[in-house]
Amino acid sequence: MREEHDIEMFLFEYSTGKPHPKAKSSRIFIMTSEFPKPSLMCEIVGENLVLILNFSHPHEAADRILIWDWCENILKAVSVDIWYSTFTVTNHED
């Protein structure tokens, strides 16, 4: 029997510990995975949240980059089977 793990993110306001007032939903469901406990990197710029999940599993490439509009809880982009060493997110406004 294959075990599955739900990966979720919760958005809280740092100063109060309450759900973030700008987030439509304070809970973001990321994915269900058969690989437990990925390492992750997260960067937030404006309303964009970039999450990199690295599962370090030797037999399958399950790593992903996910980009959300965290205010609206909308998944904007997904990249799978990635290789990276670091990343930088910038916000270019005209």
Tell me the domain boundaries of the chain. 5-80
Residue 47 has a pLDDT of: 92
Instruction: Name 72's bridge partners.
Output: none
Q: Nearest CA to 69 among 40, 49, 39, 89?
A: 49
Under DSSP, is residue 5 helix (H, G, I), strand (E, B) or coil? strand
Cα–Cα–Cα angle for 67, 68, 70, rounded to 5 degrees = 150
Residue 65 has a pLDDT of: 87
Q: What kind and span of H or E run contains 39?
A: strand 39-45
**Separation of CA 35 from chain center:** 16
Q: Look at the pTM and tell me if it is higher than 0.85.
A: no
Structure confidence by residue, pLDDT tens digits, 64-93: 888 999 999 999 998 876 555 455 556 666
